[in-house]
Structure 1
Amino acid sequence: MATPKTLRTCKQGHKYYKSSDCPTCPICEKMKEPALGFLALLSNPAKNALLHYGIDTIEKLANHTEKEILALHGIGKASLPVFQKALEEAGLRFKSNKTNTNTL
């Protein structure tokens, strides 16, 4: 059974319906400027998850392990091919699990 949608109003005054707990306003999302680079190839949830953690360049993505990135809310396995292709094209790859000391 589907969760009923509730009417919400964002900080900008846009009214929209959502069935999840996600607070993101779809109208505000559409008004954002398009992302550049590899971020432009991602879904909005994946892009927003990375931006929330300050990962806005391919170099910053390479500073994390694949496991760390997959643990972010909004990132799914469908994003991995995009990440891997972008990293490869930049001559980079995800950080190895063995050498990682960073945490998000």
Structure 2
Amino acid sequence: MAKCLSSICAVHYVANGDFLKGIIAMPARRALEKEKINSLEKLSDYSEKEIINLHGFGKNTIEKLKVYMKENNVSFKD
């Protein structure tokens, strides 16, 4: 009997990198990983509006991300 792949993925999913670990929650980090955004430089190529439309992003997550980006002299594109 075949196993349900969605439950296997949910239980055994491991992120490849530590990008933004401790800054934003896993759902938002996975959304960035899915879009191949794995550095602040790549993140700065996107607007705030584009990022907030990703799964796992809300006002609180965006605010945390903006503070972290500002600390590292990076910002969203206009």
- With normalisation by structure 2, the TM-score equals 0.77
Structure 2 gap ranges (5+): none
- Counterpart selection for 1:68 from 50, 55, 61: 50
Q: Deviations over 1:7-30 (max 9, x none)?
A: x7337x84xxxxxxxxx51x213x
Percent of pairs with identical residues: 27
Q: Which has the higher contact order (CA 8 A, sep 6+)?
A: 2
- With normalisation by structure 1, the TM-score equals 0.60
Change (3 A) 1:42 1:61: same
Q: Deviations over 1:21-76 (max 9, x none)?
A: xxx51x213xx2574242x0221110110010011111111111100001112222
Question: In structure 2, what is the Cα distance between the partners aligned to 1:9 and 1:50?
Answer: 25
Question: In structure 2, what is the Cα distance between the partners aligned to 1:33 and 1:71?
Answer: 21
User: Which protein is richer in strand relative to its size?
Assistant: 1
Any runs of at least 4 consecutive aligned residues in structure 1 with deviations exceeding 3 A, and if so which?
A: none
RMSD of equivalent CA atoms: 2.3
